[in-house]
């Protein structure tokens, strides 16, 4: 139940303070005599209750949610135009309500404009043990005519530190999440996208913010933040004349002035962040723990390994060819066969990416017995069956386009611009929402043994105009499209609550924590070259746990099968290769690697991540996963292209018990290969492994090593016990 007051009934908090926070971080807001709400403190949790009195008596400071048109001279969190043409907004504190259980504290603060029937509700959801805070707002008014929202941020935070170092993640298709850090100085740094149907392409919807120094892995104060929104986003970092920083996060308002009718509640997306005093490593582990427990679909559940047919066949397949690949999946020992693009369309068969999209019936020439024959073949081989769909998109060369051009986002008086030979369906339209839901529902109704969907979205929105919304609401389209998508996904989740799905979007175009409410994992990039994937998976690891990051062994790159498999095993493992082209030793290795992965799933997918050696620091890199009991760990070490006679350093492990004794063995070796790094099965204390480390790197090019670390005893008197 909601109740007024402070974080906990046992605490005595001054009446004008609102204390929000986790076990390690807190945000304290203050309502002053002028009834304005200000940020009094943000940082590590304050230890002494009596110190709160000083914050209570302080004066001045930044408003918690700055409005446009009053006395502030920098970027506002909200800007509106009232029905009478007045562009000002003055929000004063009305009330607060808080509720708390053992794990989550939720705070709702109501602000109001005393001259207009306009109300803002600020929400803060603090996950106490996971050290994550989620912020969002609700906007509602009682004016007779619609109010236009020009800016409508999910959150605003203020910092007063010596310096600020921002790490962003940028790139392009097949070149995602490249990290770059810069020091922020006076002025604004804006990170945003205008893609419409996706968040990520040229820049990712997350960041690292180092406070008083650059963001480091093990030390220093850092904030890691992201927006839960599968569409246009904007982060604004503005340093003012006093060297204070304001951080504003939310939907990108560009081209999205929103006409809000009377009585309708406008809810902004979640801004999700964690604040760490122990560097980015601790921040990532906190986010991963939170995501698995609270946000990712089936976040505490298992994940299926799979074999995809895409690189084996592309669009060129028939039933017999697919049945052979299904048999290959069973031979590898993976859980599922996934049929990718190219299985649908009859008037315009899907033989390339220029036709058929939108016509979700099996191509009779390829699959005369339909999907049902393939699910039956998979069942006979003892594997699950998964299917690729792209239900939000349409090719102009399709029956759907011919029948329902009014369902397509397009300008009525301009030539159509195609992205990847396709266009986007108008999900602001309820009829289109019904159609998209019907794609999933129809397939599962006809073929209930479909066990998995790969849901793709290859095109941003072009030709931005909705035939459904009408002339006066066109700027609502970017927002209403994403909301329409969520309505469809809510219906899918309600009817098929246990259905696993991969969130794919031209590679890593959809990598956000709102989309992951409905999907068990996301496709990180269409680039599966393992050297590139080392960097890509490293970048995503700051925000997302391994079980959310799909990683496949493919034919990209010239590296060995072992190298490619070792890279993919750092995420949710899959294969997209021609098994019939593998040698017998490679087949034996792949089967053993799948068995190792299945055995180590609790460590890799649910354990704590430690980034040991960055690929950005040189030609070597290493990542480690350790289970929660610190009893088992696995280390992945890679040599890319080290220079001749370059210094080779030990890899120091992390996350172990110093007094415990661990047995170390190399796994994932090719058949007949011997370890060249030392005697297998050696025992070390956790203290030694974390301070001295292991010689896991070498000067060899494009080679890798996977080491399993297992606790065998406790070192109390220089002895070890089994």
pLDDT at 352: 97
End-to-end CA distance of the chain: 51
What pLDDT does residue 1 have?
37
Reported as a single tens digit per residue, the pLDDT across 577-616 is: 999 999 999 999 999 999 999 999 999 999 999 999 999 9
Q: H/E/C letters for each residue in 408-441?
A: ECCCCCCCCCCECCEEEECCCCHHHHHHHHHHHH
Tell me what the pLDDT averaged over the chain comes to: 95
Q: Count the helix, strand and coil residues of the chain and give each as a percent rounded to the nearest 5.
A: 25, 35, 45
Residue 11, pLDDT score? 62
Residue 375 half-sphere exposure toward CB, CA atoms < 13 A: 14
Which pLDDT score, from 0 to 100, does residue 76 have?
A: 97
Contacts of 441 (CB under 8 A, 6+ apart): 492, 495
pLDDT at residue number 558 = 87
Give pLDDT tens digits for 388-403. Answer: 999 999 999 999 999 9
Average pLDDT over every residue of 520-543: 98
In the chain, how many H helices and how many E strands?
12, 36
Give the pLDDT score at 8: 43
Task: Find the helix or strand (DSSP H, E) in which 43 lies.
Answer: strand 37-44
Nearest to 126 by CA among 329, 274, 288: 274
151 touches 253 (CB < 8 A): yes
Q: What is the pLDDT of residue 677?
A: 66
Percent of the chain with pLDDT over 90: 94
Tens-place pLDDT, residues 206-225? 999 999 999 999 999 999 99
Q: What are phi and psi of 239, to 5 degrees?
A: -95, 130
* pLDDT at 255 (0 to 100): 97
The percentage of the chain sitting over the pLDDT mark of 70, rounded to a whole number, equals: 97
| Range from 16-25, 64-73, 337-346 carrying the lowest mean pLDDT | 64-73
Separation in Å, CA 228 to CA 26, 189, 198, 236, 266:
21, 20, 12, 16, 15
Averaged pLDDT, 564-574: 98
- The side-by-side arrangement of strands in the sheet containing 233-239 is 155-159, 245-251, 233-239, 187-192
Per-residue confidence (pLDDT) for residue 67, from 0 to 100: 97
What is this structure's pTM?
Answer: 0.96
Section 643-649 average pLDDT: 93
Average pLDDT over residues 38-64: 94
> pLDDT for 134-144, tens place per residue?
999 999 999 99
Q: Is 441 exposed, middle or buried (0-12, 13-18, 19+ CB in 10 A)?
A: middle
Strand order across the 258-260 sheet: 78-81, 147-152, 258-260
Q: What is the pLDDT of residues 250-283, one digit of tens each?
A: 999 999 999 999 999 999 999 999 999 999 999 9
pLDDT of residue 721: 38
Which pLDDT band holds residue 10 (cuts at 50, 70, 90)?
very low
Residues 101 and 139 sit within 8 Å (Cβ to Cβ): no
Summarize the confidence of residues 435-455 as an average pLDDT: 98
Structure tokens at 420: 């990847």
Q: Residue 5: its pLDDT value, please? A: 42
Q: Is the pLDDT of residue 331 over 90?
A: yes
Is residue 714 very low, low, confident or very high in pLDDT (cuts 50, 70, 90)?
low
Mean pLDDT value across residues 427-449: 98
Residue 506 DSSP code: T
Rounded-to-integer distance, Cα 508 and Cα 199, Å: 9
Q: What is the pLDDT of residue 676?
A: 73
| Cα radius of gyration (the chain) | 27
d(CA 24, CA 400): 54
**Res 675: pLDDT:** 74
Task: Give the strands of the sheet with 608-613, arranged side by side.
Answer: 608-613, 620-626, 632-639, 703-714, 660-667, 682-685
Residue 337 has pLDDT above 80, yes or no: yes
The pLDDT value recorded for residue 678 is 67
> Reduced to 3 states, what is the DSSP secondary structure of residue 263?
coil
């Amino acid at each position: 139940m909601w109740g007024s007051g402070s974080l906990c009934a046992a605490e005595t908090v001054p009446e004008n303070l609102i204390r929000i926070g986790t076990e390690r971080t807190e945000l304290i807001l203050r309502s002053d005599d002028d009834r304005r709400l200000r940020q009094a403190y943000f940082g590590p949790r304050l230890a002494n209750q009596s110190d709160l009195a000083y914050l209570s008596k302080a004066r001045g400071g930044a408003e918690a949610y700055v409005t446009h048109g009053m006395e502030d001279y920098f970027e506002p969190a909200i800007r509106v135009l009232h029905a009478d043409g007045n562009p000002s907004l003055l929000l004063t504190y009305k009330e607060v309500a808080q509720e708390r259980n053992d794990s989550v504290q939720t705070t709702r603060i109501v602000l109001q404009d005393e001259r207009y029937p306009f109300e803002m509700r600020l929400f803060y959801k603090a996950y106490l043990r996971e050290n994550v805070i989620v912020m969002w707002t609700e906007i509602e008014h009682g004016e007779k005519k619609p109010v236009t929202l020009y800016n409508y941020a999910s959150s605003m935070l203020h910092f007063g530190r010596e310096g600020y170092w921002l790490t962003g993640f940028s790139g392009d298709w097949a070149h995602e999440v490249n990290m770059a850090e810069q020091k922020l100085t006076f002025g604004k740094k804006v990170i945003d996208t205008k893609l419409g149907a996706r968040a990520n392409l040229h820049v990712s919807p997350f960041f690292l913010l180092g406070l008083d120094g650059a963001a480091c892995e093990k030390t220093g104060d850092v904030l890691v933040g992201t927006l839960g929104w599968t569409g246009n986003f904007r982060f604004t970092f503005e340093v003012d004349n006093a060297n204070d920083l304001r951080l504003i996060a939310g939907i990108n308002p560009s081209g999205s002035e929103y006409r809000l009718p009377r009585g309708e509640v406008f809810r902004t997306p979640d801004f999700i962040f964690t604040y760490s005093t122990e560097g980015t490593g601790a921040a990532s582990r906190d986010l991963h723990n939170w995501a698995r427990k609270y946000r990712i679909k089936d976040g505490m559940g298992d994940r299926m390994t799979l074999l995809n047919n895409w690189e084996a066949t592309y669009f060129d397949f028939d039933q017999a060819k697919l049945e052979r690949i299904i048999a290959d999946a069973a031979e590898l020992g993976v859980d599922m066969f996934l049929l990718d693009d190219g299985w649908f369309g009859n008037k315009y068969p899907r033989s390339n990416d220029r036709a058929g999209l939108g016509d979700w019936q099996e191509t009779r020439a390829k699959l005369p017995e339909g999907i049902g024959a393939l699910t039956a073949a998979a069942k006979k081989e003892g594997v699950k069956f998964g299917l690729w769909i792209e239900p939000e998109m349409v090719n102009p060369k399709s029956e759907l386009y011919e029948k329902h051009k009014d369902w397509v986002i397009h300008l009525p008086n301009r030539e159509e611009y195609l992205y990847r030979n396709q266009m986007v369906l108008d999900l602001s339209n309820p009829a289109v929402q019904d159609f998209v839901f019907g794609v999933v529902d129809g397939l599962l109704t006809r073929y209930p043994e479909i066990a998995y969907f790969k849901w793709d979205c290859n095109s941003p929105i072009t030709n931005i105009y909705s035939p459904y919304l009408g002339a006066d609401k066109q700027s609502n389209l970017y927002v209403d499209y994403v909301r329409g998508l969520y309505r469809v996904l809510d219906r899918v989740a309600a009817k098929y609550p246990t259905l696993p799905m991969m969130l794919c979007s031209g590679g890593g175009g959809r990598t956000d924590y709102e989309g992951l409410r409905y999907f068990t994992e996301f496709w990180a990039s269409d680039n599966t070259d393992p050297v590139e994937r080392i960097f890509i998976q490293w970048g995503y690891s700051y925000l997302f746990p391994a079980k959310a990051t799909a990683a496949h062994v493919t034919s990209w790159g010239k590296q060995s099968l072992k190298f490619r498999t070792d890279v993919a095993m750092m995420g949710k493992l899959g294969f997209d290769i021609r098994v019939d082209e593998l040698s017998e030793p490679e087949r034996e290795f792949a089967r053993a690697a799948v068995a190792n992965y299945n055995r180590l799933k609790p460590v890799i997918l649910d354990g704590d991540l430690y980034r040991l050696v960055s690929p950005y620091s040189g030609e070597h890199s290493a990542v480690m996963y350790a289970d929660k009991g610190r009893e088992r760990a696995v280390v992945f070490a890679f040599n890319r292209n080290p220079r001749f006679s370059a210094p080779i350093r030990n890899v120091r492990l992390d996350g172990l018990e110093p007094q415990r004794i661990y047995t170390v063995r190399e796994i994932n070796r090719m058949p007949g290969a011997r370890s060249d790094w030392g005697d297998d099965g050696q025992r070390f204390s956790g203290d030694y492994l974390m301070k001295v480390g292991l010689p896991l790197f070498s000067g060899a090019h494009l080679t890798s090593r996977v080491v399993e670390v297992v606790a065998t005893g406790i070192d109390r008197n220089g002895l070890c016990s089994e």
